[in-house]
């Protein structure tokens, strides 16, 4: 029942829609039959036969996600003819079911699928034998790059009719909504995983000393947390990018929240004048992307979901999505998660660069990759398979992935690098958020916009600012103040973090001093009572 799906996933050729749909129906039938059999016979999940069936099912869900991602984002021909709505739903379900069923497996079975998680943050190599999650995260990165590079609003001289522009916008918002759903499902699935060993941890287990064994245990616990951090950062980056493209609406909502149509009209007029002036005088500013809106063309659009997969406007009106609220929630989630990592002495999750031999636990792979790159240079996206054997294909995929990753590491670590350490990425995301808040504040009526510093902290009652301060007070105790500058932290923000820590320590000293005075005052009293 699962053979057609597994065969399609292992084939390097592009899958076709109709056979894929039939294979997915077979997976659904297999799942239903297994569930009914376990219930009818009242079998235990630890039963050997049940474990074997669950193992096959996890493999089936991974294969399903593999095939769907290739069908959605790599299909040739006219995608408008493809009904992608059901495929998006099936992909999200496959991701969730993969993690759910994997959690039912015994460790000996579950570790077989660790490569899908570990390799998810590495470059994706079709046909994705190493990780079906990798192309999902990579597609999110491509969408982020598109949103940063292409405008979302038409130029006044645009010849596109309003209906076409709205349809184009709805497709974009639907695509982003789908990607956010995938990222959230992956994040929830990873939260249930306590540890992941290296791919060959059993080989080295007998050679480990007690000290190295403890370090290996901590590394195993850190791996799923590091992947979670990467997924959360991608989600936040995606939301920030969408918010930038919807900045006019965000500014209008901010004006309405101040109350009254007069404030809204004034803000919109102020916004237009600010757009004109800043577009001339701030050409090199990072925050220019917040306000500049140029022409959009259908020829430059990333292939999003097909038209028939877009939800009707009455169901999900894109103009009513408060992207800025979603962005704030996501950023707070990232900041709190990073703060908890620092507080739990897992600072390496935030600061350590990924080294492939350590990350994957395969010491010989980097040598293989360097040797292979000298003899042949296959395209990272289209490797040349040396054999039809599945295991050989997997080795080829992973080697090519490492070669591609190392080539990026050796190049310039620019601001948009996808593989910089999480702390540097998080600092950059927070900077972008503050730029957005500043752009909004500048367009609000001066009579009611309040202090700039308070508005930039964002969220309800400065929730983003509090989360940022919480991260700083935890992380500055683990890393020397000057050591945070290379991660992109501005000196003024470092100074504020230092002041916050000093204030907190002073409060503790005063509190401990008062407690000591109380104890000292009570002690003579108790002694005198004892004498009586």
CA gap 489, 463 in Å, rounded: 20
| C-alpha closest to that of 271 among 460, 388, 441, 84 | 441
pLDDT of residue 376: 38
Q: What are the boundaries of each domain within the chain? A: 1-131, 133-199+209-353+416-459
Q: CA-to-CA distance for 492 and 485, rounded, in angstroms?
A: 11
> What's the pLDDT score for residue 450?
87
Long-range Cβ contact pairs of 28-37 (< 8 A, separation 24 or more): 29/1, 30/1, 30/2, 30/56, 30/57, 30/60, 31/57, 31/60, 31/97
* Residues in CB range of 146: below 8 A, 6 or more apart: 302
| Residue 320 · residue 252 · CB < 8 Å | no
Average pLDDT along the chain? 76
478: closest CA among 321, 333, 352, 378?
Answer: 352
Who wins on pLDDT, 208 or 49?
49
* pLDDT for residue 373 is more than 50: no
**CA-derived radius of gyration, the chain:** 27
What per-residue confidence (pLDDT) applies to 413? 43
* Whether residue 485 has pLDDT greater than 50: yes
- Over residues 205-224, the mean pLDDT reads 77
pLDDT at 492: 94
Q: Which of 16-25, 88-97, 126-135 has the highest mean pLDDT?
A: 88-97
- pLDDT recorded at residue 305: 28
Q: What is the pLDDT of residues 50-63, one digit of tens each?
A: 999 999 999 999 99
% of the chain beyond a pLDDT of 90: 49
Confidence of residue 270 (pLDDT cuts 50, 70, 90): low
Q: Which of 1-15, 144-158, 488-502 has the lowest mean pLDDT?
A: 144-158
Which position has the higher pLDDT, 259 or 500?
A: 500
| Model pLDDT, residue 447 | 86
Average pLDDT over residues 278-289: 39
* 77: alpha, beta or left? (left if phi > 0; alpha if psi -120 to 50): left
Distance CA 485, CA 482 (A): 6
């Amino acid at each position: 029942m699962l053979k057609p799906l597994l065969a399609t996933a292992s084939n390097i050729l592009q899958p076709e829609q109709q056979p894929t749909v039939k294979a997915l129906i077979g997976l659904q039938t297999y799942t239903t039959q297994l569930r009914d059999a376990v219930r009818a016979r009242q079998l235990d999940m630890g039963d050997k036969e049940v474990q074997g069936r669950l193992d096959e099912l996890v493999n089936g869900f991974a294969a399903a996600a593999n095939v769907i991602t290739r069908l959605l984002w790599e299909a040739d021909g006219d995608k408008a003819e493809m009904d992608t709505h059901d495929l998006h739903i099936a992909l999200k379900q496959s991701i969730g079911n993969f993690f759910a069923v994997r959690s039912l497996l015994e460790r000996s079975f579950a570790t077989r699928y660790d490569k899908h998680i570990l390799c998810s943050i590495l470059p994706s190599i079709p046909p994705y034998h190493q990780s079906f999650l990798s192309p999902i995260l990579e597609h999110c990165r491509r969408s982020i790059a598109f949103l940063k590079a292409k405008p979302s609003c038409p130029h006044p001289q645009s010849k596109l009719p309003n209906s076409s522009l709205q349809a184009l916008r709805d497709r974009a918002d639907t695509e982003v909504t789908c990607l956010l759903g995938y990222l959230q499902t992956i994040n929830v699935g990873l939260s249930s995983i306590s540890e992941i060993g290296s791919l060959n941890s059993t080989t080295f287990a007998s050679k480990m000393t007690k000290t190295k064994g403890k370090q290996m245990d901590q590394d195993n616990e850190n791996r799923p947390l590091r992947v979670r951090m990467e997924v959360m950062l991608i989600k936040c980056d995606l939301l920030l990018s969408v918010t930038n493209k919807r900045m006019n609406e965000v500014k209008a909502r901010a004006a309405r929240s101040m109350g009254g149509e007069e404030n809204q009209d004034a803000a919109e007029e102020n916004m237009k004048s600010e757009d004109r002036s800043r577009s001339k005088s701030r050409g090199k500013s990072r925050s220019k992307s917040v306000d500049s809106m140029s022409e959009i063309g259908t020829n430059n659009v990333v292939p999003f979901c097909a038209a028939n997969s877009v939800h009707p406007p009455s169901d999900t009106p894109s103009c009513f999505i408060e992207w800025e609220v979603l962005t704030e929630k996501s950023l707070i989630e990232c900041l709190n998660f990073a703060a908890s990592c620092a507080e739990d002495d897992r600072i390496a999750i935030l600061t350590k660069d990924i080294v492939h031999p350590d990350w994957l636990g395969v010491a010989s792979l980097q040598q293989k990759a360097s040797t292979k790159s000298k003899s042949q240079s296959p395209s990272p996206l289209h490797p040349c398979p040396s054999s039809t054997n599945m295991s050989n294909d997997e080795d080829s995929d992973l080697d090519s992935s490492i070669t591609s990753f190392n080539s990026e590491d050796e190049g310039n670590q620019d601001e948009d690098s996808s593989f910089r350490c999480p702390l540097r990425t998080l600092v950059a995301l927070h900077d972008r958020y503050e730029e957005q808040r500043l752009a909004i504040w500048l367009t609000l009526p001066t009579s009611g916009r309040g202090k700039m510093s308070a508005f930039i902290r964002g969220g309800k009652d400065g929730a983003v600012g509090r989360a940022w301060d919480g991260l700083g007070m935890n992380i500055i105790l683990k890393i020397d103040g000057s050591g945070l500058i290379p991660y992109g932290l501005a000196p003024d923000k470092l100074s504020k973090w230092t002041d916050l820590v000093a204030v907190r320590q002073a409060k503790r000293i005063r509190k401990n001093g008062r407690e000591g005075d109380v104890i000292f005052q009570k002690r003579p009293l108790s002694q005198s009572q004892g004498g009586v």
